[in-house]
Amino acid sequence: MRVRNKNGERAGTPARALASALIVLGALALGLLHTVSSDANHDGHDPSNRHVMIVGNNWSGTVDVVIPRGNFEHLARINIIPDLDEQMAATMADPVQFGYFLAIRQQVGEGHDQYADDMYTSRDGSLLAISRPSFRDVVAFDLNDCELDPADQTPGEPDVERCAMVWRFQVDGARADHMALSPDGKELAVSASTGNVVHILDIATGEERGKFPSGDSPHENVYSRDGSVIYHASIGRVYTPNPEGVPGLDSSKGSRIWTIIDADTLQPLPGYPVDMGKELAKAGYEGMSSAVRPMTFSPDERFVYFQVSFFHGFVEYDLKKRKVTRVARLPNLVPEVPQSQYLLNSAHHGIAMNRNGTRLCVAGTMSNYAAIVSRQSFRYKLFRNIAKPYWATTNNNGRYCFVSASGNDEVKVISFAKKRIVATIPVGDHPQRVRMSNVSTEWLQDHR
């Protein structure tokens, strides 16, 4: 594949391609392909693919592709709303959907349309799948069929590529939200916010294999490492008023559940779903919300660490004993802000763990900080003045935490070991989800 430039000519040089081919052939001949390249996958992926970081710029409708190590090189910016005019015409022609569209803009998007909530690439790196909240859909683009369009370019900004759309799936209800990719790379679990279901899609075709019901506003999905179950949470109606101090008792929020779904049958495991607000109360933590937000797991998947609405900190839950074991309280740096003004009920939104399970990385959304937290003691170090951090994830070797600073259009790179910010990556308008993904070796060569 070659990306075409603004004049329709092929980008890249034959000399560079030849040199790259000779390097790869030499490595193959020596049987050293896995050891000579720091970009090689070591987790069962096709060794012809390379890890990248993808960042969804929700308000501009683009995705940035970045090398998640070294100098954090920016590789590409992809337009994921090439069908904007078509979708807007269809939306405006449907009075009900147009009403939802405007509500999403004002109540969820802070006055902006939401074009890029969550995204993954296919295992072979050929497809980029995106959930687009304002258009209530998931779409997939062919990364091997892209071109630069002069109409997309902005002076001083990275060139923007347009890629061929392969499929589109419209979710139940009026809004698409968080997704998860199965460990085998074949299926996407997609939350339909107002449809109160999670769709399971074939990432290659966009066809639905099935779906399972959730509570109000299905949100986070995480596959277990072996792919046998899906951990899922609904967050309730984040747009309703909230009584100060007692979020867990507000019935207007609707059904907020945490559940474990059998990935084959799409049925909940025995004893699920559970109400985490009640579980917290049993453990002595009264008045906390039932709405589980982002979550991360210990390496052995015995413990889950999750955020809940309105709370500055996170919860540790023992999956074997099925009980809340500890609660980590982190600083509230905005005590003057009433909970009713918390962004979508989120005090914190984003949590990740390093590979060996010793430290967590937390996005303190309302307080404008990130934190590295000891898993053993819950002692923490704060990184202040990160504008509206909205997600946290680790790179594939677990060395770095990437925190999206949605208010400054940046991604902060924090070293778990050094406990300091080691890089700041400029990205597009309002970055939210950050994911580790794959591209092909050829695609990477064409973009470096």
303: CATH = 2.130.10.10
Contact 424, 409 (CB under 8 A): no
Specify if 412 maps to a domain: no
What average pLDDT does the chain have?
89
Take residue 242 and report the two structure tokens written for it.
Answer: 């909230």
Specify if 263 maps to a domain: yes
Specify if 215 maps to a domain: yes
Give the number of domains in the chain. Answer: 1
Distance of alpha carbon 34 from alpha carbon 427, whole angstroms? 30
Specify if 134 maps to a domain: yes
Specify if 8 maps to a domain: no
Region of residue 21 (phi > 0: left; psi between -120 and 50: alpha; otherwise: beta):
alpha
**DSSP secondary structure, 376-436, as one string:** TT--EEEEE--SSEEEEEE-TTS-EEEEEETTTTEEEEEETTTTEEEEEEE-SSSEEEEEE
Distance of alpha carbon 4 from alpha carbon 11, whole angstroms? 5
Q: Is 289 helix (H, G, I), strand (E, B) or coil?
A: coil
In terms of Cα–Cα distance, which of 348, 363, 418 is closest to 393? 363
CA angle 158, 148, 447 (to 5 degrees): 60
Specify if 266 maps to a domain: yes
Return the pLDDT at 248. 56
The 10 Å CB-count burial string (b at 16+, else e) for 278-291 is: ebbbebebeebbbb
Please write the tens of the pLDDT for every residue from 368-391: 999 999 999 999 999 999 999 999
Distance of alpha carbon 272 from alpha carbon 293, whole angstroms? 17
The 10 Å CB-count burial string (b at 16+, else e) for 366-385 is: bbbbbbbbebeebebebbee
Task: Walk along the chain (448 residues) and give the pLDDT tens digit of each residue.
Answer: 444 443 444 444 333 333 433 333 333 333 333 322 223 333 445 667 899 999 999 999 999 999 999 999 999 999 999 999 999 999 999 999 999 899 889 878 888 999 999 999 999 999 999 999 999 999 999 999 999 988 888 888 899 999 999 999 999 999 999 999 999 999 999 999 999 999 999 999 999 999 999 999 999 999 999 999 999 999 999 888 776 556 556 788 999 999 999 999 999 999 999 999 999 999 999 989 999 999 999 999 999 999 999 999 999 999 999 999 999 999 999 999 998 889 999 999 999 999 999 999 999 999 999 999 999 999 999 999 999 999 999 998 899 999 999 999 999 999 999 999 999 999 999 999 999 999 999 999 999 8
Q: Identify the domain containing residue 103 by its residue range.
A: 44-335+426-446
Take residue 353 and report the two structure tokens written for it.
Answer: 């763990």
Specify if 196 maps to a domain: yes
Specify if 304 maps to a domain: yes
For the question of whether the overall pTM of this predicted structure is more than 0.85, the answer is yes
Number of H helices, E strands in the chain: 6, 27
In terms of Cα–Cα distance, which of 203, 155, 160, 163 is closest to 179? 203
